[in-house]
Structure 1
Amino acid sequence: MQQHLQQFQKSILQTDPLHWHKSQMTTEPNHQERFFDLSLELLCLIDFQGNLQKINPTWERILGYSPEELSQQNFLQFIHPDDKKLTRLALERLISGQPRLDLENRYCCQDGSYRWIAWTAVPDPDEELIYMVGRDMTDHKQVEIELHSRLQQQAAVSELSQKALEDRDLDAVMQTAVELVSETLSVDYSAILELLPNYQTLLLRSGVGWQAELVGQAMLSARPNCHAGYTLSQGKSIIVEDLPVETRFSGSPLLHNHRVVSGMSTIISGIPGSEGPFGVLSVYAREYHPFTQEDVSFLQTIANVLTNVMTRLQAQDQLNLMERAIASSNNGIIITDSTQPDNPIVYVNPAFEEITGYKREDVLGRNCRFLQGIYRDQNALDEIRQAIEQGTECHAIVQNVRKDGQLFWNELRISPVFNTQGHLTHFIGIQTDISDRKQAEEQLEHHAFYDHLTNLPNRALFAEYLQQAIEKTQRDSNYQFAVLFLDLDGFKKVNDSLGHLIGDLLLMAIARRLENCLRPSDLLARLGGDEFTIFLDKIHTLQDATKVAQRILSKLSNPFHLNGHEVFANSSIGITLSTIRYDQADDILRDADLAMYQAKTAGKGRYAVYNTLLHTQAVNRLKLETDLRGAIDRQQLQVYYQPIVELKTGQLTGFESLLRWYHPEWGFVSPAEFVPVAEETGLILPIGTWVLEQACQQLHLWNIQFPDRSPLTMNVNLSVKQFAQPDLIEQIDLILEATQIEGKFLKLEITESAIIDNSKVANLIFQQLKARQIRLCIDDFGTGYSSLSYLYRFPVHTLKIDRSFLNNLDSKASSHYREIIKAVIDLGHNLGMDIVAEGIEKIEQHKLLQQFGCEYGQGYFYSKPMPAQAIANLLAQPLAHGLV
């Protein structure tokens, strides 16, 4: 295999020059394995029969397959059926002597979905192997598909518009429309349903996919109980995702007879002067077909084109000259009479009516200035007035007002018309509604500075605003402000348990509550994820900022009601003041962030004010993390062992391994300080493996040294991250084999949260542990999620009662804690589990637990955690000397 990896490395470096610059590496096998494992691309070896011989971990990250799942599986069996033949032929060419192959195909993921992969393959005829490098091109392909769809739709609109210009036959234009719609949207049926004069019936005027005798003959009800009728009643486009379960309407027999599942319809407006719409343009599919907003816009555009065609044909019948002027334009056209006082309007086209909302009869005889509304101070208006006075052409962009009061952007071109004597007689104005273009420009700017979910300012805008405030403090020594940094507590649990939709709704609801806590002069922003920042303007004292923080915590303490769920959320808040005299916005955000973490560390749901001590603590934490990284190599980590005692006999039965760190400068560092850092940085993984190995080695040694004490058991704690490792069982097997320990003497302690956080894979892991006779202990039972269902689902052997329950036996509520302890013991016994009580420090606790039937205990009453040598001295004592 090492030879294969060498060849694989060589093939990749020849294939991708970028890897050559990144990989001036040795040919030692371990470096080749590291190169193979750390590559961000999909790497694999397949034989000439297509069987997968080796894959790298990137397959699991991108496609979801572990190496075990694909071992000896055929590469081609995961290819999309439409791509399989082409891929097979390509590989055959490679086997036949082609030196290199580049191809793209869709590869099946573990969850059943497909991703586009661009492969580069190089053969090794001697070994009959093919070395392949794959890059995930799914996002790029999706962009191509979306772009292709838009181009198809634009081409269809263009083709229909051209057809409408060339052909005066309305039925032919309609047939072209339904054919283009069917082809562009990839649907089974399309239809133009004309609303007949009685307004109760729709005629299938044109269509694609229907039985031939139905087109031009079939009648449908225009009542709201069918799709088309419902569209007319609502006055807007309507999408049907699944007709058989649709509740808004039942659907017409025509649709049910053709087994329609999904559909979309939009209204075809009537020609000017008509009393209602012309009808409905609809598309349908026999299988589930998700329609997008772009599809709706496309269908409406086609409908608009049809309306324009009918309008134009009518206008051509009435006035041929006017038809020539407006035949090819969707823009608004105005003609004014410059020979009359005040340049009155003498003609407007339908597009003008559509753009402005004014009917022809509303505007004839009026000057165009009514479109300006109250917005008469625009600079472009001076250019227009000057052009009218001088009789010249003008191009201007102005804001006009529709009849309903809505503003729109109007790109206006004005041209003078002279008669044969050269006298000015008319002005022609051509309107183009560029509101969408302007909106797109504004949206681009908005997206650059605003969060798309909450519509709050984003980090970039907040930092810019903050920098301006800093500069203001430098000019005005009396000006002060504060920054609040908020991080939601427990937001990940909401996302994991209720889904991202509820998580998004929660973020939006929190944004609105936060806004209600602030003044108009303050600024709220979302930095990303579940982090918010607040700029408090013109504060006078620290209390001004803390009052706002208190108000926020109070408001957030009330539950949120989201889609039928009652959700609780709170926040940790960090506060920093401008009195520290910052120069950069990033420095303020850094310090506010530090204060926020201080609040979260102190217990969440509270605020903390930044001081220089926090910066010192942050530096110390960084040093702690740095030193912890080298603690194993420097032999600073030690494993201590605390005896576990059988309460009935007082005899020692096993130990719990506990990690200790002796720092050369600080002495013993509390696990409460360094274990969270190890968890956060991922160092817990190598440290946890080391502890498991040390504990098993020590147990094996004691079993040899003290055979009369055998068999002893060893409890080892597993962190959440360790439990989530895909190769956890493999690591345990290697350690048990190396230390010659049987699985039945090893007990793994995990918390309730580790099970809940990894519920999808927990059962498989537990079954594998059970097969190895490794026992499973639930540590700190009752202090986590307190969900009992997993006790029935998983093979748990032992429950460990947390020391907090024993500590409260001396409190006023001791009777309640007695009942809790007894209930946990009874629960465990009823489920066939044994019980271990932690933190026993008094003889009274020992007797009470024994009275309740608790089998085992540990704590300072018996022995504190001790290094291995001290435990050996303890084991050397006669068996008759129990620990009680």
Structure 2
Amino acid sequence: MSGTSEGPTPAADLDRSAVTDSDHTTYDRVFGAAPLAMAVVDHEGFVVRANPAFGELLGLDCRALAGRAAADLVDLTADVRSWHAYREVLSGRQARLRCTRRLKHPGGNSVWVQLTVAPLTDGRAGVLLSVADISARRELQARLRHLQMHDPVTRLPNRTLFFERLSAALEAESYERGGTGRIGLCYLDLDGFKAVNDTLGHRVGDRLLAAVAERLTTVADEAGYARAASPLVARLGGDEFALLVEDSTGTEQLADLAESALKSLEEPFDLAGQRLSLTASIGVVERHAAGTTATGLMQAADTTLYWAKADGKARWTLFDPERNAHRMTRQALSSTLRPAIERGEFVLDYQPLVGMEDGRLSGVEALVRWHHPQFGTLTPNRFIGLAEEDGSIVQLGRWALVTACRQARRWQLDHPGERPIFVSVNVAVRQVWDSDLVADVARTLAETGLAPHLLQLELTESAVMGSAGRPLQALQALSDMGVRIAIDDFGTGYSNLAYLSRLPVSTLKLDGSFVRGFQYEETPKGVPPNPADEVIVEAMIQLAHRLGLTVTAECVETAAQASRLRRIGCDTGQGWLYSRPVPPGRISELLDARTYAVGKP
């Protein structure tokens, strides 16, 4: 459309606007022939003109649309937000409106359209309403979403759709509409399914999963008979399925559903000439939706499923709060962690690190203990995980670093004639992310006077081997400072040996599981029955040495283990053979003894 105007022209006089006859003719032709449905609407919201495509879309004669309220024709009054924006465009206070609507054709079918309302730009009064049919696009999007939200093997909703439905069911609106306000979940795992895949192949395994899905769907349909809705059946992955019951009526309903699911799987499956029998284990949880999270519900279901399998499989088990009482203990510990640090309830014990060749005390590992007023003395496995979860590990780790460095310096000053020992402090990866570990270490060394090479920081293998970005930069800065970096529990994670050579690491601490493999005693002929563990450890030690690293063996408990480790070149030993973790005063006594006597903790 083109043309000029000396001023706004009333919508009713649109055909007499100040344009040339040629322009007007061109406008009429374009407007009438356009495949896009369009209508000119005046500032009051009434249709002035509509083209044939617009009438065809609505199933009406376009000439009969003049004078009709455009908002009613295209359902712009359906929601307050769109209606307000539409009025703003009509009044000239908003430049454009674009929204999506579903319009019903008089013939019975409906179409999805995209509406655009924008002011006319050729001097004419009013706005142009254009309507694009996007039904095909919406259908394609729906198909793609269905593929994304459903498992291709069983055609059931997948994990993504399941959690979408679960989250929606747990929202406040879902139990404020007159429902029961409760939710139930049966978390099902097939017993021995891996054996089917391993022996008969994944094709048979997939057929079995599809057959299981059909039976569970039938169970859900029967359970939903005479109810508002059937339980949602979903495949969460592998051989795990879930039956979600919204607005459940209590544990009895969930128990009946679980029992029906087990019975439905009792009948053998006939698959391409194979007759297969299987069982399932089910964890059942039923509770109020209010105050429940998707994560909490799934954790409870997963725990209960584990109980079902531990109790013998082929059964369902109901969540038992008392059996889950250890979680309450965890919560009690978690809530008092930070105050406990401030109250000084934590102490450090030290476990000797002994040279395998000379038996001398070369260093100690600082191990934190919590003297809890209610639960007694707690070892790190009881609270370190909690500290990492709530972030208090940063405060606790900073305290441990300062305390250990101050103690190491005190030993050095108290024994000036002896070779100083280093202290090894454990560091959680969250300390690297949530604090400036490099600055903390530098400040601690400066304040305590401890030399950098007398401090060793231990990180787990999984944390170090995947280091990149900030963690790797921090490790490099600490190494450049002269601080030793050790990988703890080496051999239990996803060792990337090529990557290991590029890390600023000085020590590998072999996980105790390798050393425990040395438990066998030599036969009278002097030939060990199975030296596989020793061969693996020897290979790791040789590799470490070629990379310029020293090796510490953890969990050394017998003289025979120590002898074998010394023979294959291990540098340092740590374990109950030498000493349990002890208070600082005991380490002072060992330093006075100069040579550490094996077997005398």
TM-score band by shorter chain is 0.5 to 0.7
Paired residues of 1:717 and 1:749 also in contact (CA < 8 A):
yes
Name the structure 1 match of 2:54. 331
Structure 2: which amino acid aligns with 1:308? A
Count matched residues.
Answer: 438
Paired residues of 1:576 and 1:591 also in contact (CA < 8 A):
no
Q: How many angstroms does 1:723 deviate by?
A: 2.4
Report SS of the residue matched to 1:741: coil
Report SS of the residue matched to 2:367: strand
The 5-angstrom pairing of residues 248-397 of structure 1 reads 307-308=33-34, 328=51, 330-332=53-55
Paired residues of 1:594 and 1:615 also in contact (CA < 8 A):
no
- Per-residue Cα deviation, 1:469-510 (whole angstroms, up to 9, x for no partner): 97499xxxxxxx8414799xxxxxxxxxxxxxxxxxxxxxxx
Distance in 2, matches of 1:840 and 1:486, equals 42
Paired residues of 1:645 and 1:883 also in contact (CA < 8 A):
no
Name the structure 1 match of 2:561. 845
Name the structure 2 match of 1:745. 454
Name the structure 1 match of 2:579. 863
Name the structure 1 match of 2:300. 595
Report SS of the residue matched to 1:809: coil
Paired residues of 1:458 and 1:526 also in contact (CA < 8 A):
no
Structure 2: which amino acid aligns with 1:710? R
Paired residues of 2:345 and 2:372 also in contact (CA < 8 A):
yes
1:815 counterpart = 2:531: yes
- Which of 247, 250, 259 does residue 544 from structure 1 map onto? 259
Q: How many angstroms does 1:633 deviate by?
A: 2.4
Name the structure 2 match of 1:375. none
Q: How many angstroms does 1:524 deviate by?
A: 5.4
Distance in 2, matches of 1:451 and 1:826, equals 48
Structure 1: which amino acid aligns with 2:185? V
Distance in 2, matches of 1:545 and 1:865, equals 54
1:730 counterpart = 2:439: yes
* Residues 592 and 307 (structure 1), Cα distance of their counterparts in 2 relative to 1, 3 Å cut: same
Distance in 1, matches of 2:178 and 2:37, equals 58
- Per-residue Cα deviation, 1:542-598 (whole angstroms, up to 9, x for no partner): 8538859x99xxxxxxxxxxxxxxxxxxxxx994445xxx56554596873452474
Distance in 1, matches of 2:460 and 2:58, equals 80
- Which of 699, 703, 719 does residue 412 from structure 2 map onto? 703
Q: How many angstroms does 1:775 deviate by?
A: 1.1
* Residues 513 and 716 (structure 1), Cα distance of their counterparts in 2 relative to 1, 3 Å cut: farther
1:688 counterpart = 2:397: yes
- Which of 374, 379, 388 does residue 679 from structure 1 map onto? 388
Distance in 1, matches of 2:58 and 2:372, equals 89
1:716 counterpart = 2:425: yes
* Residues 409 and 542 (structure 1), Cα distance of their counterparts in 2 relative to 1, 3 Å cut: closer
Distance in 2, matches of 1:685 and 1:311, equals 63
1:790 counterpart = 2:499: yes
If the length of structure 2 is used for normalisation, what is the TM-score? 0.60
Paired residues of 2:458 and 2:485 also in contact (CA < 8 A):
yes
Paired residues of 1:720 and 1:753 also in contact (CA < 8 A):
no
The 5-angstrom pairing of residues 117-266 of structure 1 reads none
Unmatched 5+ stretches in structure 2: 1-13, 39-46, 66-102, 114-130, 146-156, 190-209, 222-229, 267-280, 521-527
Q: How many angstroms does 1:808 deviate by?
A: 2.5
Paired residues of 1:659 and 1:671 also in contact (CA < 8 A):
yes
* Residues 694 and 330 (structure 1), Cα distance of their counterparts in 2 relative to 1, 3 Å cut: same
Report SS of the residue matched to 1:749: strand
Structure 1: which amino acid aligns with 2:485? L
Report SS of the residue matched to 1:864: coil
Structure 1: which amino acid aligns with 2:545? H
- Per-residue Cα deviation, 1:393-421 (whole angstroms, up to 9, x for no partner): xxxx855558xxx64389xxxxxxxxxxx
Name the structure 1 match of 2:593. 877
- Per-residue Cα deviation, 1:512-533 (whole angstroms, up to 9, x for no partner): 9997765442225899xxx997
Report SS of the residue matched to 2:383: helix
Name the structure 2 match of 1:854. 570
Distance in 1, matches of 2:552 and 2:500, equals 16
Structure 2: which amino acid aligns with 1:731? D
Distance in 2, matches of 1:833 and 1:778, equals 11
- Which of 834, 837, 849 does residue 550 from structure 2 map onto? 834
Report SS of the residue matched to 2:322: helix
Distance in 2, matches of 1:311 and 1:435, equals 12
Structure 2: which amino acid aligns with 1:592? L
1:799 counterpart = 2:522: no
Q: Percent identity?
A: 28
Distance in 2, matches of 1:727 and 1:600, equals 41
The 5-angstrom pairing of residues 68-83 of structure 1 reads none
The 5-angstrom pairing of residues 25-36 of structure 1 reads none
* Residues 878 and 775 (structure 1), Cα distance of their counterparts in 2 relative to 1, 3 Å cut: closer
Distance in 2, matches of 1:619 and 1:737, equals 42
- Which of 339, 342, 345 does residue 630 from structure 1 map onto? 339
- Per-residue Cα deviation, 1:683-738 (whole angstroms, up to 9, x for no partner): 11110111111110000000011123322111111111012245111110010001
Paired residues of 2:166 and 2:294 also in contact (CA < 8 A):
no
Q: How many angstroms does 1:788 deviate by?
A: 1.6
Distance in 2, matches of 1:873 and 1:601, equals 48
Paired residues of 2:359 and 2:598 also in contact (CA < 8 A):
yes
Paired residues of 2:37 and 2:52 also in contact (CA < 8 A):
no
- Which of 159, 167, 170 does residue 459 from structure 1 map onto? 167
Report SS of the residue matched to 1:799: strand
* Residues 574 and 627 (structure 1), Cα distance of their counterparts in 2 relative to 1, 3 Å cut: farther
Q: How many angstroms does 1:877 deviate by?
A: 2.0
If the length of structure 1 is used for normalisation, what is the TM-score? 0.42
Structure 2: which amino acid aligns with 1:816? A
1:408 counterpart = 2:111: yes
Q: How many angstroms does 1:635 deviate by?
A: 2.1
Structure 1: which amino acid aligns with 2:454? F
- Which of 768, 773, 778 does residue 482 from structure 2 map onto? 773
Distance in 2, matches of 1:692 and 1:754, equals 19
Report SS of the residue matched to 1:702: helix
Q: How many angstroms does 1:810 deviate by?
A: 3.4
Q: How many angstroms does 1:826 deviate by?
A: 1.0
Structure 1: which amino acid aligns with 2:350? Y
Distance in 2, matches of 1:852 and 1:696, equals 32
Q: How many angstroms does 1:630 deviate by?
A: 1.8
Name the structure 1 match of 2:355. 646
* Residues 168 and 752 (structure 1), Cα distance of their counterparts in 2 relative to 1, 3 Å cut: farther
* Residues 311 and 728 (structure 1), Cα distance of their counterparts in 2 relative to 1, 3 Å cut: closer
Q: How many angstroms does 1:871 deviate by?
A: 1.6
- Which of 483, 498, 507 does residue 185 from structure 2 map onto? 483
Higher relative contact order (CA 8 A, sep 6+): 2
Distance in 2, matches of 1:789 and 1:635, equals 43
Distance in 1, matches of 2:563 and 2:349, equals 27
Paired residues of 1:485 and 1:589 also in contact (CA < 8 A):
no
Distance in 2, matches of 1:334 and 1:746, equals 78
Distance in 2, matches of 1:730 and 1:773, equals 14
* Residues 523 and 600 (structure 1), Cα distance of their counterparts in 2 relative to 1, 3 Å cut: closer
Distance in 1, matches of 2:565 and 2:381, equals 28
* Residues 539 and 792 (structure 1), Cα distance of their counterparts in 2 relative to 1, 3 Å cut: same
Report SS of the residue matched to 2:570: coil
The 5-angstrom pairing of residues 663-674 of structure 1 reads 663-674=372-383
Q: RMSD value over aligned CA atoms?
A: 5.3
Distance in 2, matches of 1:588 and 1:622, equals 16
Paired residues of 1:467 and 1:585 also in contact (CA < 8 A):
no
Unmatched 5+ stretches in structure 1: 1-160, 175-270, 272-303, 313-323, 337-344, 352-396, 411-431, 474-480, 488-511, 552-572
Distance in 1, matches of 2:297 and 2:159, equals 24
Report SS of the residue matched to 1:849: helix
Distance in 2, matches of 1:330 and 1:398, equals 16
* Residues 329 and 546 (structure 1), Cα distance of their counterparts in 2 relative to 1, 3 Å cut: closer
* Residues 575 and 646 (structure 1), Cα distance of their counterparts in 2 relative to 1, 3 Å cut: same
